[in-house]
Every structure is written in structure tokens, then in C-alpha cells.
Chain A
Amino acid sequence: MKLKSKIKSALFVAFVLAIVGSITPGCNGGSSNNSSSDSTATNSDDKTLLGAGSTFVYPLFSKQFSEYNKQTGLKINYQSIGSGGGILQLTNKTVDFGDSDAPLNDEQAQKIGVPVLHIPMCSGAVVISYNLPEVKDTLNLSPEVLADIFLGKITRWNDAKIAAINKGIQLPATAIVIAHRSDGSGTTNIFTDYLSKVNDEWKSKVGKGTAVNWPIGLGGKGNEGVAGLIKQTPGGIGYIELAYAIQNKMAFAKVQNKAGNFIAPSIASTSAASNVQLPADSKIFLGNTDAAEGYPISGFTWALIYQEQAYNKRSEQKAQNLVKLLWWNIHEGQQYCEGLHYAPLSPAAVAVAEAILKSATFNGKPVFNGKPVLQ
């Protein structure tokens, strides 16, 4: 009897402790802002910047930041935890800048509550790769065919619709096997955004997002997962990042753009896609671009910073360092894009990015006037 009551009281104590323990970290969404931000403010000096976000841009950032570090001595620590994670960290003010492959959505913007600047850093293309050992020529794909394939309406490679835009190519009767990303990803966002723009049925049935409810197909984790599925499955088709496809020498299709031209994805045609009239806040999905020579499935990745840089007892020096770094990124830093298979910003995009960076303030005064960062 005594033992029983002891066990009971022990259980009760455990329960109470558990509740206390889980409630405190449980609601860290808004309440723990102060504590976490204070620790960053004290931990990091003016010579260090913290960033977090997109994995897509990580190779480029690490190259750019190491070069910048050599020239200025400023240390930049970037964690590639995914766009969503980067936005969350920026919301909690634990980093100086975030990076996302998509602009903030309404919910995220509402959570942050103050204006956040989106500065395009580079753009990337999503290519359609396929596995048809019999076909040596490059396939042509039109938006309608692409959407029909991913909706599951075209099931064989020798379908009349595919043959009509690939005259002279002997297409096999192989069944089409679709591969898509199983993990939430900016690549999926760019691809589904494009399909939503060019196909109404896709828009109403599936929509766009970092992860969607795919009507058909197999999911692979990461670019390597999708690429593996395509390589292994005869008749496979899927979408992957341009950089990954080039590095792994995968076959990819030409896609018809808005102007009617079949465009092969390349760094030049991706840069060309962003050389159009851009909105002043740069928050635009580049999919289905108006540019005649532009590859139609591409998108920016944006660095995200607070417009008002005086928060959290940050020093003005730090704010300046941050804006100068991003300024350098969109100018001198662009030279590292091509080597890593990223598309540099087009002149139109650089102009917009400059204007956005100049609008950053510290206590209401502009942080940076736009002079060259390094002499």
C-alpha cells in the first residue's frame, strides 16, 4: 500500500515537472524573442554576421563570404537550414539576415510584423531531366505537354502531343515515370509556380508551394534523390536544379517560353529571364518570363533583412557591415556565380536590388549611400 502511494506521488511529481518543462520551450514562437536576441547581441561582436536559410544558395554564399572575409576581415557565418528555417530565425531575431527561395508569405510577414527587405542574390533554373536511352537528340517540351505529363494525362513517351513538338525524333513507347522532390523545397516552389502560371487545371487541382499534393509520381529526397530516380528508371522524368544537372551531366529538355521559343536551360538564358521589368520590391516569381531569350522555369533567391536595422541594441557599425556585404554580393560578388552554375543577376535585377538596399535605415536614417564597398 505504502509503495503504491509512493509510486503515485512520484508519477504526480513527474507529471508536474513534465508539464512545466514542456510549456516553457513550447511557446517560443513569440515570447522568447527577448532572451534569445539578447544572447546574440552580447555574443557577437561587430566583426561577425550571422545568416541562415536556403540550402540552394549555400555553395555560392560560402564562396562569396570567404572572398569577402579575405578582403575585409568580416566573418560571416551562414547556416543552410532551409528557407523556412531562415525566415523563422530572422523572425526570432537570432540572425542578422535570412535567405529564402520564395518571398515571405502573408502569414510569415504578419508574424514578423515590420517591413522586411527582399534583396535578390542570384537566380537559379529548374531543368526538366529525363531518361530515354534511345533518344539522342534534346527533347522539346511545351508548357501544355509538361503540365499534362505531371498531371498524369500523358502516360507514354510516344504520345501524339509529345511527338507533335519533337518532329524527327523516334520516341519509344516506354511508360513515363515521374520523379518529384519528396522534401519541401524552393525548387518545387519554382517548378509548381511555373506550372500554375501556364496551366489552369494545375493551378486549381494542385497549386504551388514548397511541397504539394502530387497527383502522380515517385518522390526522391533532395536533388540527388530525384536525379537517382531518373537515372535508374527508364522512361523517367523529373525536375532538378540546373547546377546539379550540369555537374552530373544529365540530359535535360528545352522548354518553350512565353514568346514561343524553345529555350535550353543555361546560365545565360536564366540570367536573361530576369532581365525584364521587375517590381520595386523585387518580389516576383520569374516563372514564364516575358523575356524572349529567357528560360521559363527559374527564380530568385532573396537575402532578407529588416528594413529598420536599429533593433535589439545592434550597433550602427553592424548594420553598415550587413548592408555593405549585400551590396558587394550583388556587384563584385556576382563574378563567382557562373563558376558554381548560378545565374548572375541581370542588369535590371541589380538596379532594383540597389534601390532596395538603399532603403535600409538605422533609426530612420539611411544606412548606406551606395558608394563602392572596396577601393
Chain B
Amino acid sequence: MKFSFIKSRDSRSNLLVREISYIAKMDVWKSIKIKRTFRQIRMEKIFRSSLVLVALSILVLVIAFLFTLIVQSMPSIKALGFSFLFGKTWDPVANVYGTYPFLLGTLFTSFLALIISIPFSFSIAIFLGEYYPRGWFSEFLKNSIELIAAVPSVIYGFWGLFVLVPIVRSMELKLGVTPYGIGIFTSSLILAIMIIPYAASLGREMIRMVPSSLKEAAYSLGATRYEVIKTVILPYSKSGLFAGILLSLGRALGETMAVTMVIGNTSIIPKSIFDPGNTMASVIANEFTEAASTLYLSSLIELGLILFLVTVLINLIGKKIIKRFTTD
């Protein structure tokens, strides 16, 4: 049985011919042929239905999430209605709940983080995808970037609190704003670092997938490396790059622990990016354990529902944009 697929470096068709002739030579094959066909069909069916089942269970899970959130937040939806979405005060004592400051904080920190992270993640993607696609240095760099994604977020929180906050504070002193150190800007910085690997890894794969024939054609026309990147590689891989951005945005929207530790957790509406604020995820994490009244608890769950919907909405918009990019 020295039939080896690995050794053969012939073209695929050649391999296939050899394989078929090998199977045809076996006598056993004839005797079990009919039986095997039945079994095969049954196996196929079982395999297929198990795939469907697993896929379906994910669907069930998502819909169940949504449904649970809606059912549990019914008391607050009934009691507060739309004022929940646009109310500016969050006062558990008076049972007045308005999520506007947190909605603002979530969107603000996430998009600011995205803006900060894009130059870095794109540079890394281009560097690893185009300049150094192979070699130990490239592997090392790639692994360390992926490691960034593997670090638990509470560690980012601590690092932010003890290293980043004093730096930001001294910067704020020079700028002449109130030197809190913590706040929306600091959270965005932390978030930016946390989300870089997502866009960078995906971008790198996309850039490596650009056909070399295209690049070589551009070079042969006399384009410089920068021109090739600008006119061939980036346009070709833009949908992938955008998908990476979307992935990192999703991560930024839901990030809880690291943000909670450096954002300042105040329900006052922030007036500048150096002010403290709060995000929906950190409010839930902070207040869930001691939420005593039904309306309070249900408001926190409704906050989760809104976070869920915001994430879905942003994903849908992103998908639409990707579609438009790729059909152009």
C-alpha cells in the first residue's frame, strides 16, 4: 500500500487517473458495491441532516436570545416606552431610565477606536501581506499580532489604568483640559489596540490573495511598489479590508471589562472626548448584580436588547457597503 498522495507532484488529473485505476484493480470493490451504495446514501443523509441540525441550532439560539431579551425587557418597554431610548437621565433611585448617554458613549468609543486603529491595522496588513509575506520575521510578527487578540480584556483594563491613564493625564495637563486621565479618549485608545489584530489578520490574508499576475502586470507597466499597492492591491482587496473593519467594530461595541475600568462610568453626557462617559455594556456589567427592583432589572435587560440591535444594525449596514464595493 505504498500509494502516496503526498509524494505525487503531478498535475491533479494525473493523480485522479491513478487513483481510479487503483480502485478498479481491487476485487473487493465489486462485491460490496451495491451494499455500499445504500449505506452511502444513508450516511450522506445522516451527515447532511446533522449539519442542518447544527446550523439550525445556531439560528434557534440567536432568535431565542432576541426573544428572551424582548420578553424580559417588557416591563421597562411598557413603563418607559421611547423615553428609554432618548432619556438623558439614568436614575435607579427615582426609577427613571434613559439610555441616551450610554448609547452615545458606546458609539463614540467604538468609532473613535476604529479611526485610531485603521492606519495601524492597514499598515500591518500591507506590510505582512505584500512586503514580508514569508520568513521567520514575518511569522514572528504575525504571531505577536494574533497574540494581542488572545490577551484577556481585564489585563488591558489594568494596563490601561496603571500605564495609559497617567500618560493621558499628563497629556491632558498640557492641553489644559480637566486632567481626569480616564475617559472616552483613554477607552478608545485601549479599544483601538484590542481591535487591531482583527482587521490586520483579515487584511493580510486578503492582500496575499491578490493574484500575482495582476501585480506583475502593473510592475511591467512601470508602476512603483507604492503605485501597485494603491492602484492594484487595495482596490482588489477592499471588500476584505472592510470586512475586517466591521469585525473589529463589532468587537469594540461589545467590549466590556477593559472599557469599564478606564471610561469613568458616569451617566453625565460627555461634552468632549476627554470627558468621562459610560457604555451600554459596562452599565450592564456594573449594575446587574445589585439591581433590586423589577423595572431596574428589566431596564438593564432592555439595554442589552438595544446593544444587540445596534450591533445587528451596524453589521447589516456594513454588509450593504461591502456589497456595493464589490459590485462596483
Contacts and interface: CB of A to CB of B under 8 A. Distances in A.
Interface of A: 10-11, 13-15, 17-19, 21-23, 25-27, 81-85, 87, 105, 107-108, 175, 177, 182-186, 206-214, 216-221, 225, 228-229, 232-233
Given A214-B267, A233-B180, A22 B68 contact: yes
Contact of A21 (B64, B161, B266): B64
A351 to B, nearest CB: 29
A175 B282 CA distance: 27
Nearest to A13: B56
A98 to B, nearest CB: 13
B96 to A, nearest CB: 8
A184 B286 contact: yes
Question: Which of B52, B182, B267, B289 gathers most chain A CB within 10 Å?
Answer: B289
Given A10-B56, A22-B68, A105 B293 contact: yes
Contacts of B63: 14-15, 17-19
Contacts of A108: 292
B252 interface: no
A217 B289 CA distance: 22
Nearest to A221: B260
B289 A85 contact: yes
Contacts of B264: 218-219
Contacts of B180: 177, 218, 233
A184 B289 contact: yes
Contact of A10 (B52, B166, B289): B52
A214 to B, nearest CB: 6
Interface stretch (B14-22, B86-94, B128-136, B311-319): B86-94
A205 to B, nearest CB: 10
Nearest to A6: B52
Given A10-B59, A11-B59, A212-B93, 18 more contacts: A18-B62, A22-B64, A22-B65, A26-B71, A84-B292, A107-B292, A182-B282, A183-B289, A184-B287, A184-B289, A211-B92, A213-B91, A213-B92, A216-B268, A218-B182, A219-B286, A221-B286, A233-B180
A214 B266 contact: yes
B153 interface: no
Contact of B290 (A10, A177, A183, A207): A183
A216 B264 CA distance: 11
Contact of A107 (B276, B288, B293): B293
B118 to A, nearest CB: 29
B290 A233 contact: no
B263 to A, nearest CB: 8
Nearest to B182: A218
Contact of B294 (A107, A186, A233): A107
Interface residues of B, number: 48
Interface of B: 52, 56, 59-68, 71-72, 89-94, 161, 165-166, 169, 178, 180-182, 260-261, 264-268, 276, 278, 282, 285-294
Nearest to A25: B68
B71 A18 contact: no
B265 A221 contact: yes
Contacts of B181: 232-233
A107 to B, nearest CB: 5
B265 A84 contact: no
Question: Which of B66, B92, B161, B265 gathers most chain A CB within 10 Å?
Answer: B265
Contacts of B64: 17-19, 21-22
A250 B292 CA distance: 31
Contacts of A107: 292-294
18 contacts: A14-B56, A14-B59, A17-B64, A18-B61, A18-B64, A18-B66, A18-B67, A19-B63, A21-B64, A82-B289, A82-B290, A84-B291, A175-B178, A182-B260, A211-B286, A213-B90, A213-B94, A232-B165
A113 B67 CA distance: 30
B267 A213 contact: yes
B73 to A, nearest CB: 11
A31 B165 CA distance: 48
Nearest to B158: A228
A18 B265 contact: no
A1 B71 CA distance: 34
Contact of A87 (B56, B93, B169, B292): B292
B93 A213 contact: yes
B93 A207 contact: yes
A184 B260 contact: no
Contact of B94 (A207, A218, A221): A207
A218 B276 contact: yes
Contacts of B169: 232-233
B268 to A, nearest CB: 8
A84 B286 CA distance: 13
Contacts of B62: 18
A292 to B, nearest CB: 31
A368 B214 CA distance: 88
A15 B182 CA distance: 44
Question: Which of A83, A85, A211 gathers most chain B CB within 10 Å?
Answer: A211
A185 B266 contact: no
A207 B261 CA distance: 26
A219 B286 CA distance: 10
B156 to A, nearest CB: 14
